[in-house]
């Protein structure tokens, strides 16, 4: 399984900028904006987050529009992954707990499987529970291969069945603001959780 790990989010901004400039002219600025008139550091706007409508591990389908008004974290995993996915989900589960009572009301985390033929809603529910992530505010989603592939590509990620089994995919985690705009992306599992938490909180007060 490919793991494109980069320890610093600001390096990832350049990688994200390259993707968005190559695929759609939506990116106005790939650098964090400093010295803004209000004195607050602002994250760039990469463009609108892609629409998705997928089956949830906890019941009804969930669409991007259903989560409007919350700061979102969107990532990609699969349940039979035994290497980087458990590290990523455990790290994000801890981060969610660190957001306290505002998790689920102000913030929501979305994990979309890249192996929809294996990962049924029931299987995803069991997987979420193993990380203490089967709680309001967490959404583990699956769907048809096409619907999942559209979401993967829409967020600038990559997933393909590996010849040795499992799925070869890009570990890309995106933050989306309350208005549904993608703001920053982290690559890999070695990101600084404190920095990600600051970014989430920054988007919550905009």
107, 200 contact by CB (below 8 A): yes
Does this model's pTM top 0.85? My answer is: no
Distance in angstroms (rounded) separating the CA atoms of residues 152 and 148: 6
From first to last of the 206 residues of the chain, give the pLDDT tens digit: 323 333 444 444 444 443 443 443 333 333 343 333 444 568 999 999 999 999 999 888 999 999 999 999 999 999 998 889 999 999 999 999 999 999 999 999 999 999 999 999 999 999 999 999 999 999 999 999 999 999 999 998 887 877 677 787 778 899 999 999 999 999 988 999 999 999 999 999 98
What Å distances lie between residue 79 and 43, 103, 129, 164, CA to CA?
32, 23, 12, 16
Query: Domains of the chain, with CATH numbers?
Result: 9-204 (3.40.30.10)
Residue 28, φ and ψ in degrees, nearest 5? -90, -30
Sign of CA dihedral 184, 109, 114, 81: positive
Q: Output the pLDDT for position 4.
A: 33
């Amino acid at each position: 399984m490919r793991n494109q790990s980069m320890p610093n989010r600001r390096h990832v901004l350049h990688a994200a900028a390259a993707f968005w400039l190559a695929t759609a002219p939506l990116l106005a600025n790939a650098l964090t904006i400093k010295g803004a008139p209000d004195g607050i550091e602002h994250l760039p706007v990469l463009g609108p987050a892609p629409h998705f409508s997928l089956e949830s591990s906890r019941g009804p389908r969930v669409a991007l529009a259903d989560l409007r008004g919350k700061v979102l974290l969107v990532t990609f995993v699969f349940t039979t992954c035994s290497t980087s996915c458990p590290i990523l989900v455990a790290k994000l589960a801890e981060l969610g707990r660190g957001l306290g009572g505002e998790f689920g009301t102000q913030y929501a985390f979305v994990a979309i499987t890249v192996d929809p033929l294996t990962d049924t809603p029931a299987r995803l529910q069991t997987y979420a529970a193993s990380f203490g992530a089967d709680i309001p505010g967490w959404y583990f989603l699956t769907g048809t291969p096409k619907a999942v592939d559209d979401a993967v590509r829409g967020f600038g990620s990559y997933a393909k069945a590996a010849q040795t089994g499992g799925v070869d995919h890009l570990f890309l985690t995106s933050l989306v603001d309350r208005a549904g705009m993608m703001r920053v992306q982290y690559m890999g599992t070695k990101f600084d959780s404190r920095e990600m938490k600051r970014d989430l909180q920054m988007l919550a007060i905009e």
